[in-house]
């Protein structure tokens, strides 16, 4: 399968990076990596962060935008079981294990600079810098 998946840290850079150069690099990654997949776990995390920082209205607009621009991947049985195995083996936050599992099952790289993802078998990592 072609495409890429994205961790919450990528979305944080997308929405909160102050530098124009960073935004341009992110835009290029998104255009070059299509189709773009997003675990609903990452959607939940960015919604929560946006809710805390900017309120419900902005969180809703952002969630709708992500749902339109990314192919959302729900947690199904395969993702859930593999995520539990990743969590058990690597002792990482559960949302990260769901995001890593999604990338692994889809066999696509995951854009993240989060050290939690290092060393997870079957998860190829990329970053935009």
How many domains does the chain contain in total?
1
The per-residue pLDDT for 1 is 73
Question: Is residue 128 included in any domain, yes or no?
Answer: no
Q: What is the pLDDT of residues 9-24, one digit of tens each?
A: 999 999 999 888 998 9
Q: Work out the mean pLDDT of the chain and round it to a whole number.
A: 96
What whole-number distance in Å separates Cα of residue 82 and Cα of residue 39? 14
Question: Is residue 40 included in any domain, yes or no?
Answer: yes
Question: From the DSSP assignment, how many helices (H) and strands (E) are in the chain?
Answer: 6, 5
Q: Domain of residue 103: give its range.
A: 4-109
Percent of the chain with pLDDT over 70: 100
Q: Which of 43, 33, 35 is nearest to 128 (CA)?
A: 33
Q: Where are the alpha helices (DSSP H) in 55-107?
A: 56-69, 77-90, 94-106
Residue 85, domain CATH: 3.40.50.1010
Question: Is residue 30 included in any domain, yes or no?
Answer: yes
Q: pTM (2 decimals)? A: 0.94
Q: What is the pLDDT of residues 31-41, one digit of tens each?
A: 999 999 999 99
Question: Is residue 129 included in any domain, yes or no?
Answer: no
The per-residue pLDDT for 18 is 86
The per-residue pLDDT for 20 is 86
The per-residue pLDDT for 129 is 80
pLDDT tens digits in sequence order for the chain, 129 residues long: 799 999 999 999 999 998 889 989 999 999 999 999 999 999 999 999 999 999 999 999 999 999 999 999 999 999 999 999 999 999 999 999 999 999 999 999 999 999 999 999 999 999 998
Question: Is residue 104 included in any domain, yes or no?
Answer: yes
Question: Is residue 22 included in any domain, yes or no?
Answer: yes
């Amino acid at each position: 399968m072609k495409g890429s998946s994205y961790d919450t840290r990528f979305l944080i850079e997308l929405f909160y990076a102050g530098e124009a150069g960073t935004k341009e690099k992110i835009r290029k990654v998104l255009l070059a990596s299509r189709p773009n997949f997003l675990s609903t776990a990452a959607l939940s995390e960015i919604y929560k962060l946006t809710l805390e920082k900017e309120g419900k209205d902005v969180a809703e607009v952002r969630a709708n935008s992500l749902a339109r621009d990314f192919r959302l991947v729900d947690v199904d049985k395969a993702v859930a079981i593999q995520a539990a195995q990743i969590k058990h083996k690597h002792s990482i936050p559960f949302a990260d294990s769901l995001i890593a599992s999604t990338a692994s099952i889809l066999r696509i790289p995951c854009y993240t600079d989060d050290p939690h993802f290092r060393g997870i078998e079957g998860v190829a990592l990329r970053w935009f810098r």
